[in-house]
Structure 1
Amino acid sequence: MKSNGRIIIDPSDKKISVYSGKDGTGGSIIGCDSINMYDDSGNLYTSLTGVDIAGRDFVTLTSRYNKKGLHLKRIASATSDDILYILDGLPTSDPKIEGALWMDADRTLKVSSRGFGS
């Protein structure tokens, strides 16, 4: 059995890089405040970042390209236990995929209950 890839542990940058290709493409970088996932071409497609500052995003799961996705924010005027969940870029019509979130014309959050093609 042959496998490709490499793992780099860098204590000075406080990160672990796990590459699926031996040329340094694909895989993940786990740092002290984020996890970045890359496709086989080396393009970042998902970033999970943590910043624990009241009133700002403290956890995000977003696209690198448009910064849209899931944001969890602490509410600045509330206690530290109050969190605001923000979902960017939801479909504005029912995608007809079981369990998918979407918003109607009145911006009411809905969950699709039909399977695809029904």
Structure 2
Amino acid sequence: MRTLVVVDAANVVGSVPDGWWKDRRGAAERLRDALVAYAEEGIADHPGPLDVVLVVEGAARGVESVPGVRVESAPGSGDDHIVEVAAGAAGRPCVVITADRELRRRVGEVGAACAGPRTVRAP
């Protein structure tokens, strides 16, 4: 059974002060492209292949999916959408990538594990 990995794009992109705020959409696209390798190879404690969902919001809405990474534009709150995706994991392992404490609590309530942004992004 493939693990579902849900990535909080805003939180992961915002974890490194590399000028992402100048081009939020471009930053989300770069993250999406970097996630392809994780979809194939896996992350700590979850060998690949993985089903990866990148949740974007705000100015990053509309970023397209690529093979290996499905991108979902949150219609409202990105956190609310991430909880919905995690809740729909249908009994398979689910890991949410975020450092947001409140989001970690919420997805934990629906049975998802959590990992920090460094799991998919070099410090």
Same fold (TM over 0.5): no
Greater fraction strand: 1
Please classify the TM superposition score into its range, dividing by the shorter chain length. Answer: under 0.3
Instruction: Report the TM-score when normalising by structure 1.
Output: 0.20
Instruction: Report the TM-score when normalising by structure 2.
Output: 0.20
Greater fraction helix: 2
The structure having more radius of gyration, on CA atoms, is 1
Task: Tell me which of the two structures has the higher relative contact order, counting C-alpha pairs closer than 8 angstroms and 6 or more residues apart.
Answer: 2
